[in-house]
Amino acid sequence: MSYFCVVKIHEKYLSRCIQLAKNGLGSTYPNPLVGSVIVHNDKIIGEGWHRKAGEPHAEVHAINSVKDQSLLKESTIYVSLEPCSHFGKTPPCCDLIIAHKIPKVVVGTIDPFSKVAGSGIQRLRDNGCEVTVGVLEKECLELNKRFFTFHNKKRPYIILKWAESRDGFIAPLSKDTKAPIWISNEYSRQLVHQWRAEEQAILVGTQTVLDDNPKLDVRDWTGKNPTRIVLDRQGKIDSNYFVNDGKTKTVVITEQEKLIESENVRAEIITFDNQLSQKIVDVVYRLGLQSIIIEGGKQTLQTFIDDRLWDEARVFVSDTILEKGITAPQLNRIGKTTKIKTDQLTINLNHD
Binding site for ligand AOF (CB under 6 A): 31-32, 34, 50, 53, 57-59, 81, 83-84, 88-90, 93, 111, 113, 116
In the chain the first and final C-alpha atoms are separated, in Å, by: 34
* Marked catalytic residue, from 47, 59, 82, 198: 59
Q: Are 316 and 182 in contact (CB under 8 A)?
A: no
CA distance 60 to 64: 6
Q: Which is nearer to ligand AOF, 31 or 250 (CB)?
A: 31
Verify binding: residue 298, Zn ion, rule CB under 5 A: no
Pairing assessment for the beta strands 43-49 and 35-40 based on DSSP bridges:
antiparallel
Q: Are 291 and 161 in contact (CB under 8 A)?
A: no
For the chain, the helix, strand and coil percentages under 3-state DSSP, each to the nearest 5: 30, 20, 45
SS3 265: strand
From residue 331, alpha-carbon distances to 271, 317, 334 in Å are 26, 15, 8
SS3 312: strand
CA distance 49 to 37: 9
Applying CB under 5 A, which part among 19-27, 53-61, 205-213, 342-350 lies near Zn ion? 53-61
Q: Which is nearer to Zn ion, 62 or 84 (CB)?
A: 84
The least distance separating ligand AOF from the CB of residue 143, rounded to whole angstroms, comes to 12
* From Zn ion, ligand AOF, none, interface partner of 81 (C-beta below 5 to 8 A by class): ligand AOF
Q: Which is nearer to ligand AOF, 34 or 292 (CB)?
A: 34
* From ligand AOF, Zn ion, none, interface partner of 35 (C-beta below 5 to 8 A by class): none
The least distance separating ligand AOF from the CB of residue 47, rounded to whole angstroms, comes to 13
Q: Cα 77 from chain centroid?
A: 26
Verify binding: residue 57, Zn ion, rule CB under 5 A: yes
Verify binding: residue 50, Zn ion, rule CB under 5 A: no
Question: DSSP secondary-structure letter at 33?
Answer: P
323-352 burial code (b ≥16 CB/10 A, e <16): eebbebbeeeebbeeeebebeebeeeeeee
Verify binding: residue 93, Zn ion, rule CB under 5 A: yes
The least distance separating ligand AOF from the CB of residue 115, rounded to whole angstroms, comes to 7
Considering only 84, 102, 283, 284, the residue that binds Zn ion (CB under 5 A) is: 84
* From Zn ion, ligand AOF, none, interface partner of 31 (C-beta below 5 to 8 A by class): ligand AOF
The least distance separating ligand AOF from the CB of residue 64, rounded to whole angstroms, comes to 13
221 closest CA partner among 79, 66, 350: 350
The least distance separating ligand AOF from the CB of residue 280, rounded to whole angstroms, comes to 24
In sequence order, what are the beta bridge partners of 47? 37
Q: Are 192 and 162 in contact (CB under 8 A)?
A: no
The least distance separating ligand AOF from the CB of residue 341, rounded to whole angstroms, comes to 36
CA distance 77 to 65: 12
Q: Which is nearer to Zn ion, 56 or 296 (CB)?
A: 56
Q: Cα 286 from chain centroid?
A: 17
Question: Is residue 59 annotated as a catalytic residue, yes or no?
Answer: yes
* From Zn ion, ligand AOF, none, interface partner of 311 (C-beta below 5 to 8 A by class): none
The least distance separating ligand AOF from the CB of residue 131, rounded to whole angstroms, comes to 13
Verify binding: residue 107, Zn ion, rule CB under 5 A: no
Q: Which is nearer to Zn ion, 84 or 136 (CB)?
A: 84
SS3 234: coil
Applying CB under 5 A, which part among 69-77, 86-94, 99-107, 214-222 lies near Zn ion? 86-94
Q: Are 297 and 214 in contact (CB under 8 A)?
A: no
Applying CB under 5 A, which part among 64-72, 83-91, 223-231, 234-242 lies near Zn ion? 83-91
Q: Which residue numbers are catalytic?
A: 59
Query: Contact positions toward Zn ion, by CB under 5 A?
Result: 57, 84, 93
